[in-house]
């Protein structure tokens, strides 16, 4: 096996014996085979000018299946490969296709090819959620064909870089599409306080990013005496009017994904994984974990959708009632309990306060805005983000998004002009909100985003973070800080391009970076 797609890759070089994430060699090899089959399907569709709805969906879901911490189930990956092959044959493709060597070749070319492929895996996740809610954009869907074909073609370094920047722009469209899908289906998020303790009685925990799954679960548990708690990236769901209207959407359970093995131990309730990040389970709670959609793990119960996307969550509901939950209201102290978390500051809520923010910046009440966001992970260097946020001066705002926020979203940093100093914009795809806010401010100050008193301090873990980074670069955003380590798949020369052209900086120490950003040196 060879895999170097995520931040925790072995020795920051590549997983070769077994994945740090728990992925086994056979699974890794099957995922490579799946990617090769997707490339052949895209090539056949383009060559024969026969794009189909089924192929569209296979490209997105297939890429998403291979994203970090999504699918560890060999049988389901094999089944997926069979579906791709059968669709390829249906549209006039060859019986058998050659195996492709994705990770072999000249270092810089492998690096550029991997960057594009990993970015596309991230975009596939966003396109998948949009499609679940009935939202599609032809330019985005068509780019999956274009990008997959491009991966199996020869390009010069300049051509690869141009393709990657073009991809970044398409991914912005895809994030905009998902924003329309989420707000069009569930309304514009409003600032919302979220409880982190667990009420007595039966409950279900729902993790991942898919709001449609949450909506169906809320509908099916209505008036059944079952409370629903979000976990990880599902926390921002509380801000959407169409979801918060359910009184049994009771709070948020636990912290970021990498703590799940500890936090799920002994909970008297089932947990549904709608997307990543799923970790190998300890035996103590394995019988309570359910998967759906592209998520898979051998031995877990998988909830499938019918042809209209409807799912039947009865197995979880029955188990929740059987387990009964906690006897008394349960304090989760130690794992974020006892705090109220605040979410719902997507672009709608922040821009409703745009005048206030703009005049606060003009009057000097807000001296700087930081976007500290991205994905969390187990790397020890990730304490940087907690320390960095703690050190932000009182006259600065901190925008955040994705699961990296669990490093500091329980800190009380006070308020600035009636706004909390930490504003949670949502999930990782809500980077779209951050971009919208930045562009609005640039407009108001008649300058470029790079001239605003704004700095992006990003944490990355898996491939959605890769597509977001490529979008930010394609918008020409400079001097971003990235950590906790630079991606192993970026070769030295590619890093040099990013540093020289975009001023991308690896994080160092919180004080040192803060001083440099605020010009205090
Ligand atoms: Fe986190 Fe996992 Fe949103 Fe990622 S839960 S790490 S970038 O999947 O998707 O932030
Ligand atoms: Fe290693 Fe990450 Fe790949 Fe898992 S996804 S095998 S941890 S590089």
Mutate to test the pocket of ligand 1, among 124, 205, 377, 402 (most ligand atoms within 8 A of CB): 402
Position in ligand 2 atom list of the atom nearest CA 5: 8
Q: What is the CATH number of domain 10-167?
A: 1.20.1270
Known binding site for hybrid [4Fe-2O-2S] cluster: residues?
Answer: 209, 233, 277, 375, 403, 428, 462, 464
418 or 161: which carries more pLDDT confidence?
Answer: 161
Distance 69 CA to ligand 2 centre (A): 8
Q: What is the CA radius of gyration of the chain?
A: 22
Which residues define the annotated binding site? Answer: 3, 6, 15, 21, 209, 233, 277, 375, 403, 428, 462, 464
Residues 396/370, Cβ–Cβ less than 8 Å: yes
Identify the architecture of domain 192-323 in CATH.
Answer: 3-Layer(aba) Sandwich (3.40)
- Return binding residues for [4Fe-4S] cluster: 3, 6, 15, 21
The ligand with the least distance to the CA atom of 20 is 2
The whole-model pTM stands at 0.97
Q: How many CA atoms lie within 13 A of 372 on its CB side?
A: 31
Tokens 């073609």 found at: 153
377 lines ligand 2 (CB under 6 A): no
Predicted pLDDT of residue 381: 92
Nearest alpha carbon, ligand 1 atom 2: 277
Q: Which residues of 474-487 are buried (b: 16+ CB within 10 A; e: fewer)?
A: bbebbebbbbbbbb
What is the whole-number distance in angstroms between the Cα of residue 24 and the centre of ligand 2?
10
| Dist. CA 437 → ligand 2 center (Å) | 33
pLDDT tens digit sequence for 123-166: 999 999 999 999 999 999 999 999 999 999 999 999 999 999 99
Ligand 2 atom 5: residue of nearest CA: 68
Q: Which of 81, 84, 30, 92 is nearest to 54 (CA)?
A: 84
Report which ligand 2 atom has the smallest distance to the Cα of 7.
2
Cα(5) to ligand 1 centroid in Å equals 14
Atom of ligand 2 nearest to the CA of 14: 8
The Å distance, Cα 117 to ligand 1 centre, comes to 18
Q: Average of pLDDT values for 181-198?
A: 97
φ, ψ at 203 (rounded to 5°): -150, 165
Q: Is the pLDDT of residue 101 over 60?
A: yes
Contact predicate 486/507, CB 8 Å: no
* Ligand with minimal distance to 4 CA: 2
pLDDT at 134: 97
Compute the distance from residue 428 Cα to the ligand 1 centre, in Å.
7
CB 34 within 8 A of CB 65: yes
Q: In what order do the strands lie in the sheet with 481-483?
A: 422-424, 396-400, 368-374, 454-459, 481-483, 505-506
Per the CB < 8 A criterion, the answer to whether 389 and 411 are in contact is: yes
Which one of the ligands is nearest to 64 CA? 1
Assign 93 a pLDDT band (cuts: 50, 70, 90).
confident
ipTM of the complex: 0.95
> Which residues is 400 bridged to in the sheet?
424
* Cα of 404 from ligand 1 centre, angstroms: 8
CB neighbours of 201 closer than 8 A, spacing ≥ 6?
225, 226, 227, 324, 325, 326
pLDDT on residue 521 = 65
Per-residue pLDDT tens over the stretch 372-403: 999 999 998 999 999 999 999 999 999 999 99
Burial class (CB in 10 A: 0-12, 13-18, 19+), 70: buried
Q: Which of 18-32, 277-291, 324-338 shows the lowest per-residue confidence on average (mean pLDDT)?
A: 324-338
- From atom 6 of ligand 1, which residue's Cα is the shortest distance away? 375
Among protein residues, the one with the nearest Cα to ligand 2's atom 6 is 19
Query: Tens digit of pLDDT for each residue in 330-375?
Result: 988 666 656 799 999 999 999 999 999 999 999 999 999 999 999 9
Q: Look at residue 332 in the predicted model and tell me its pLDDT.
A: 82
* Distance of alpha carbon 162 from alpha carbon 80, whole angstroms: 32
The residue count for the chain: 521
Separation between Cα atoms, residue 410 and residue 254, nearest integer Å:
12
The span from the CA of 512 to the CA of 507, in Å, is: 9
Indicate which atom in ligand 1 lies nearest the CA of residue 276: 8
Nearest-atom index, ligand 1, CA of 377: 6
Say what the pLDDT of residue 331 is. 87
Ligand nearest to C-alpha 19: 2
Return the SS3 of 399: strand
Q: Using DSSP bridges, classify how beta strands 271-273 and 340-343 pair: parallel, antiparallel or unpaired.
A: unpaired
Q: Which residues line ligand 1 (CB under 6 A)?
A: 232-233, 257, 276-277, 375, 402-403, 427-428, 461-462, 464-465
Q: Report whether CATH 3.40.50.2030 matches the domain 344-518.
A: yes
The Å distance, Cα 149 to ligand 1 centre, comes to: 27
- Given this model, what pLDDT does residue 135 score? 98
CATH 1.20.1270 residue ranges in the chain?
10-167
State residue 494's pLDDT score: 98
Ligand 2 in reach of 27 Cβ (< 6 A): no
Q: Where in the chain is the domain with CATH 3.40.50.2030?
A: 192-323, 344-518
Q: For ligand 2, atom 2, which residue shows the shortest CA distance? A: 6
Confidence check: pLDDT of 320 > 90: yes
């Amino acid at each position: 096996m060879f895999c170097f797609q995520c931040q925790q890759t072995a020795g920051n070089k590549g997983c070769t014996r077994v994945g740090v994430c728990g992925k086994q060699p056979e699974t890794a090899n099957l995922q490579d085979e799946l990617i090769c089959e997707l490339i052949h399907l895209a090539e056949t569709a383009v060559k024969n000018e026969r794009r189909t709805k089924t192929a569209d969906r296979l490209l997105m879901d297939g890429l998403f299946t291979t994203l970090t911490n999504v699918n560890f189930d060999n049988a389901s990956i094999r089944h997926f490969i069979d579906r791709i092959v059968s669709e390829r044959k249906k549209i006039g493709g060859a019986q058998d296709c050659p195996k492709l060597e994705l990770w072999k070749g000249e270092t810089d070319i492998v690096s550029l090819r991997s960057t594009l492929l990993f970015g596309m895996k991230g975009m596939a996740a966003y396109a998948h959620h949009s499609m679940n809610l009935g939202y599609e954009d032809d330019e985005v869907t068509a780019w999956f064909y274009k990008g997959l074909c491009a991966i199996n073609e020869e390009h010069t370094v300049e051509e690869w870089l141009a393709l990657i920047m073009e991809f970044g722009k398409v991914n912005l469209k895809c994030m905009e599409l998902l924003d329309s899908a989420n707000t069009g289906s569930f309304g514009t998020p409003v600032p919302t306080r979220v409880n982190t303790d667990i009420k007595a009685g039966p409950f279900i925990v729902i993790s991942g990013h898919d709001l449609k799954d949450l909506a169906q679960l809320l509908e099916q548990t209505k008036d059944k005496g079952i409370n629903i708690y979000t976990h990880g990236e599902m926390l921002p769901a509380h801000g959407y009017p169409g979801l918060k209207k359910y009184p049994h959407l009771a709070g948020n359970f636990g912290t970021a994904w990498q703590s799940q093995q500890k936090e799920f131990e002994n909970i008297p309730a089932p947990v549904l994984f709608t997307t990543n990040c799923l970790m190998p389970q300890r035996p103590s709670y394995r019988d309570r974990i359910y998967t759906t959609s592209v998520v898979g793990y051998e031995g877990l119960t998988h909830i499938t959708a019918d042809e209209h996307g409807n799912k039947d969550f009865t197995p979880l509901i029955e188990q929740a009632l059987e387990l009964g939950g906690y006897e008394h209201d349960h304090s989760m102290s130690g794992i974020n309990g006892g705090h109220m978390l605040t979410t719902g500051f997507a672009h709608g809520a922040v821009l409703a306060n745009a005048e206030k923010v703009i005049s606060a910046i003009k009057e000097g009440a807000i001296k700087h805005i930081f976007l500290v966001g991205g994905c969390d992970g187990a790397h020890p260097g990730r304490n940087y983000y907690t320390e960095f946020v703690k050190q932000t001066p009182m006259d600065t705002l901190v925008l955040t998004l994705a699961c990296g926020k669990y490093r500091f979203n329980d800190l009380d940093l006070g308020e600035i002009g009636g706004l909390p100093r930490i504003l949670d914009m949502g999930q990782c795809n809500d980077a779209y909100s951050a971009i919208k806010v930045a562009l609005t401010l640039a407009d108001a100050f008649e300058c470029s985003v790079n001239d605003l008193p704004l700095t992006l301090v990003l944490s990355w873990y898996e491939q959605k973070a890769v597509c977001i980074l490529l979008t930010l670069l394609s918008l020409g955003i400079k001097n971003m800080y990235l950590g906790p380590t630079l991606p192993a798949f970026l070769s030295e020369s590619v890093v040099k391009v990013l540093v020289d052209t975009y001023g991308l900086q690896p994080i160092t120490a919180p004080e040192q970076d803060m001083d440099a950003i605020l010009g205090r040196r």
